[in-house]
Chains A and B, each alone.
Chain A
Amino acid sequence: MSLFSEVPQAPPVAVFKLSADFREDSHPQKVNLGVGAYRTDECLPWVLPVVKKVEKLILEDSSLNHEYLPILGLPEFRSASSKVALGDDCAAIKDNRVVGVQALGGTGALRIGAEFLRRWYNGVNNTATPVYVSAPTWENHNSVFADAGFKDIRPYHYWDAANRGLDLAGLLDDLEKAPEHSIFVLHACAHNPTGTDPTQEEWKKIAEIMKRRNLFVFFDSAYQGFASGSLDKDAWAIRYFVSEGFELFVAQSFSKNFGLYNERVGNLTIVAQDGENLTRILSQMEKIVRTTWSNPPSQGARIVSKTLNCPELFAEWKGNVKTMADRVLLMRDQLKGKLQALNTPGTWEHITQQIGMFSFTGLNPKQVEFMIKERHVYLMASGRINMCGLTSSNIDYVAQSIHDAVTKVQ
């Protein structure tokens, strides 16, 4: 008898299933709006020109050693990554109370951050500390914190479906009512899946309550630069919180803004109250990493590090990022324009008000099913679309399909 005979089949991951169904579909006009990666106007993945250039430089560099990276990662990568999030003139960095830990993508950064907090935050091994994630949020947030040992994971109000915007009142209310020391997972920009971010004034309100109520800030930053085209603008919320004196974590991912999806490049930035705290925290982090992947992969970290640490390459990278962001903004603009031209019922302002890769269209599950089955346009059941899946060749078809879904299906 096998020791695994009782193992049940785990439910499939929705977004992978969607991609699989899309691949099986033979319809000539099929469109995949469920993919989580950038696509060019020819609907192809894009290797950033600066990445191609840097890869070559690395290949030709005979001075590179081929040893295991240190457990905490490539030092130049870690410092450059934290700097790109917090800004060149960040006082906390100058005060030596900021450190980065290289991780396996944004997921890895979230996981080691969560593991640390479960062991050392709000007591020792306090699995009861509530962890709040936005409603809705990237579905992996729940798994990461649950598997790190947290028993109490709760939603906080975020998306207002009726008004297709941020439910600020609900959010602020949840902050007021959350038990002290609760952990809140905030999306630094380009909220996944709604694309709806708080304004600067709204962030200030959020920060005020969080400081007053001793709530812990854990930023998820997967789209810096990708959302607005500006690294500084997309990091505004993080920098504001740091300037307000918060101790916080930032899980950074370079998958999207460097197109390094397959190299798993992430960084956990830790802002502590002082350097002494930081040393102790780092020693525990090392212990956690040592039992997870021990030594992180070097290729992606070298690419990012070389780019961020060289002014010309950095400038070139910013240009590449802006190219991606601009294409997304263009598609948003055009989609809204076409829906308005078709007189599709409802308001479509949210398409251009939202930011980043994703947009919550507002389509209900029946309408989504229509889109998939009748029009072969694939999107998530939540109505989320990836703007990168839109191109100049398919945007008319998609706009028409949305129009049909809204008018034919209630």
Chain B
Amino acid sequence: MKKMNRPDSKLNETEVKQNGDAGGQLSVFTNVHTAAGSPEKRLLSAFKKDTNPGKAYLAGREYYSEDGKTFELRLVRRIKQQLSADPTTRPEYPSPLGLTEFTRRATEVALGKSSRAIVEERVLGVQTPGFTAAVRLGAELLRNWYDHCAAWCGPVYLSSPCDDSLAGIFQAAGIQDIREYYYWDDQQRGVCLDKLLEDLLKAPERSVVVLSASAHYPTGADLSHNQWTVITELIMRRRLFPFLLLPPQALCYGNVEREAWPVQYCASQGMELLCAQSFSHCFGLYGEAVGHLLCVLKQNSLLLSVQSQAATIVKSLWAQPSAGGANIVATVLSNPAHVVEWKEEVKHIVERCMLIRELLRERLRLLGAPGCWDRLTQQSGLYCNTGLNEDQVEFLSQRRHVYLLPSGCLNVSAINGRNLDYIAESIHRALTTSL
């Protein structure tokens, strides 16, 4: 964390003369500095101020339907009504670890029902208020209890690029040593395995490596099965610890099992791992903060201890998670008929994203936009990397009022029938206008 010690000189001159004046003293918060807002926040702020009628925001985190809004799955809406009419719901504190039925289903969805780890009872599942909270809990568990004999404080390796809030989460948990491993290669327009392995080979033993199980944010570029095999072999050999991220499960290929493959593979190799999951995307429950932290241990004798420590950490962070969203997810996942219906609705989302990718690729090809756009349809999920550089991205926002993430990545679902042509034209211009 950066240390910021300069007192705000302007404040020293301010005299506070108002009702409740605490004796004309300086505020006790004089040392507080304005934090730099996150890049996303600045982007959103600029977008909101933009008065151009054709503006398009392609940097959001949610899935947008064709009408440009986030929406509720039909099934979810029905379940909400069912649950609200349920006379047996009790307003009481849930357990700090969350709803048992939810953690059970969330665990199955990541590891598969017949996972040996589940059968051998060496899996801990903790419901958390959202994905960030799951990562935070995992970070706290590692910092407090990873190799208890020696004080462990990192390093943690994050992919380059990655979600820019990840580093902050580990730091907030007390781990300051955050490093990067090579991931996205601009030239190759994909993952560069060689450089990735090179970086991980240099990692000290007991380093934690954060890997995206699917739908890598923000590039959308995922590791193939072969690449996973090579990477996990290295992780085991070098005694590194994998922390897998599974935020938009099922939104990549519409196939829950396929996207969880890396988690299942690692578990099948007998590895210990943490996995942070989110059900916001695949259930359209963004507002409900439904997250899950999965912890696969090597021995079931450790389960109770680790569980009790997780509960202790949770107690002073948020005490208990919120029940609403988890209830919905548990209700769906524990009913086979609901599951079929859910998968259908998710499939529709995935297909639409795929369609948009195809349409965008076609438009760009027809416009003669330089570069090869096949990668648009080779990747899948919500995000894709356009390959635009920073200057081109800025051109897009300033001159065309089309907002992408600074990395050149965009959320495909925000593209629809009304703005597709304009966006394709804009990307073409960004690439061909000399800047």
Contacts and interface: CB of A to CB of B under 8 A. Distances in A.
B3 A216 contact: no
Interface stretch (A187-195, A230-238, A290-298, A314-322): A290-298
Contact of B172 (A56, A247, A273, A292): A292
Interface residues of A, number: 89
A125 interface: yes
A290 B36 CA distance: 13
Interface stretch (B144-152, B210-218, B230-238): B144-152
B316 A67 contact: no
Interface stretch (B26-34, B249-257, B360-368, B369-377): B26-34
A274 interface: yes
Contacts of A161: none
A380 B273 CA distance: 38
Contacts of B92: 37, 45, 261-262
Interface in A229-282: 242-247, 255, 259-264, 272-274, 276-277, 279-281
Contacts of B72: 66
A184 B70 CA distance: 44
B323 A277 contact: no
Given A124-B31, A276-B14, A287-B168, A294 B325 contact: no
A246 B309 CA distance: 38
A124 B38 contact: no
Given A121-B29, A297-B325, A291 B136 contact: yes
Interface string B123-147: 0000011111100100000000111
Given A247-B29, A293-B136, A9 B304 contact: yes
B413 to A, nearest CB: 13
A262 B3 contact: no
Contacts of A284: 32-35
Contact of B22 (A5, A13, A245, A276): A245
Nearest to B27: A273
A66 B70 contact: yes
B298 A2 contact: yes
A255 B320 CA distance: 11
A262 B131 contact: no
B28 A280 contact: no
A46 B72 CA distance: 29
Contacts of A92: 19-20
Interface stretch (B258-266, B284-292, B427-435): B284-292
Contacts of B18: 91, 95, 274
Contacts of B3: 124-125
A107 interface: yes
Given A6-B149, A108-B319, A46 B38 contact: no
A108 B129 CA distance: 11
Contacts of A260: 91
Interface stretch (A140-148, A164-172, A328-336, A342-350): A140-148
A4 B129 contact: no
Interface in A1-51: 1-10, 12-13, 36-37, 45-47
A283 interface: yes
Interface string B277-289: 0001000111111
A105 B28 contact: no
Contact of B287 (A5, A67, A294): A67
B202 to A, nearest CB: 20
Given A7-B148, A143-B315, A296 B302 contact: no
A293 B289 contact: yes
B129 A293 contact: yes
B301 to A, nearest CB: 9
Contacts of A410: none
Contact of A262 (B93, B147, B172): B93
B22 to A, nearest CB: 4
A216 B71 contact: no
A104 interface: yes
B4 interface: yes
Contacts of B272: 2-4
Contacts of B19: 91-92, 95, 243
A36 B92 CA distance: 9
Given A67-B62, A297-B129, A299-B287, A261 B35 contact: no
A2 B297 contact: yes
A55 interface: yes
Nearest to B15: A274
A108 B20 CA distance: 28
B16 interface: yes
**Interface-central residue, B1, B287, B315, by most chain A CB under 10 Å:** B287
Contacts of B324: 262-263, 297, 299-300
Interface in B1-16: 1, 3-5, 8, 10-11, 14, 16
A290 B286 CA distance: 15
B287 A247 contact: no
A293 B70 contact: no
Nearest to B139: A291
A205 interface: no
B316 A143 contact: yes
B129 A104 contact: yes
Contacts of A140: 315-316, 319
Q: Which among A7, A92, A119 has the greatest number of chain B C-beta atoms within 10 A?
A: A7
Contacts of A2: 272, 297-299, 302
B306 interface: yes
> Residue among B69, B94, B317 with the most chain A CB within 10 A?
B317
Interface in B297-336: 297-299, 302, 304-306, 308-309, 311-313, 315-325
B29 to A, nearest CB: 5
A6 B33 CA distance: 40
Given A111-B318, A140-B316, A4 B302 contact: yes
B53 interface: no
Contacts of A95: 18-19
B84 interface: yes
15 contacts: A2-B272, A7-B306, A13-B311, A55-B84, A65-B69, A66-B287, A91-B18, A91-B19, A107-B315, A107-B316, A140-B319, A211-B23, A290-B38, A291-B171, A295-B286
Interface of A: 1-10, 12-13, 36-37, 45-47, 55-56, 59, 65-69, 91-92, 95, 104-108, 111, 115, 119-125, 140, 143-144, 146-148, 181, 211, 214, 216, 242-247, 255, 259-264, 272-274, 276-277, 279-281, 283-284, 286-288, 290-300
Given A68-B62, A105-B320, A264-B129, 5 more contacts: A7-B145, A107-B318, A140-B315, A262-B91, A264-B320
